[in-house]
Structure 1
Amino acid sequence: FDPSVCLFFFLTAIRSKITQSFAPHHLEVHNESYMHAVPTGSETHFKVVVISEMFAGKSLIQRHRLLNELLKEELAGPVHALSIVAKTPEQWEENPSVGKSPACMGGSKDDPEMSKKLAGPETGT
């Protein structure tokens, strides 16, 4: 199977696995690859917002470990980065805000300014 022929292959897989394993009250899966130095259409950088009862009584690091373990196949493949917001429904009700992800080096390789950055400093002769 070639995932490159299926648009949003990893986004769909991530959403499906989290839904099946965590029965979330709220779930957001964002492909943030466009914010990074990767080709257009890439699925390398994701942000997930998972609100689930299954996080009750677990520390933040335990929640992240659960999600990383669930998505280990994706993380061992082309998924390079996973940003996680994992809260209980009570925590989400109290504070539903999610911080913005920082831009990475100014955009994607398709951005002319990014191409200049990736090329490095010009050297004069």
Structure 2
Amino acid sequence: MKKFLLLCVAIASVAFVGCSDDDEPNFKYGDAIYGTWDITHLKQKDGSWLDITSSIFDQFHASATFNSDGTYYGSGYFGNGSGTYKTKGTTIICYIENTEYARYNIHSLSDNVAEMTMTMDGDSVEIKCKKR
């Protein structure tokens, strides 16, 4: 019985050593983000989604293109420019000249439609996007 208990303790020790809270998981969505994404909806304060695809909301139109080489280009309401990005877990972090510009925390991504929280300068907005 002592040997069995010792074996269980040894197995548990190996399992816990192999699992660290500091380990960052790979990007959950793989290659699915490559391409150009257009913002289609903004979440309003009342929780409803505002469709911004019609011409009356032209001032809010924005898009981002993520390339497989780690570069991106953004245009529209949130600014125009290019930089680099990194992915981690369910998050895309965009940089301009090595300074974080925007962060996208993806809640869901399927059928070329994504729902996420976009954070810039400490402010966050819930958005829906569609891949071209």
TM-score, normalised relative to structure 1:
0.24
Q: Which has the higher helix share?
A: 1
Q: Which has the higher strand share?
A: 2
Higher relative contact order, chain-length normalized (CA < 8 Å, sep 6+): 1
Q: Which has the larger radius of gyration?
A: 2
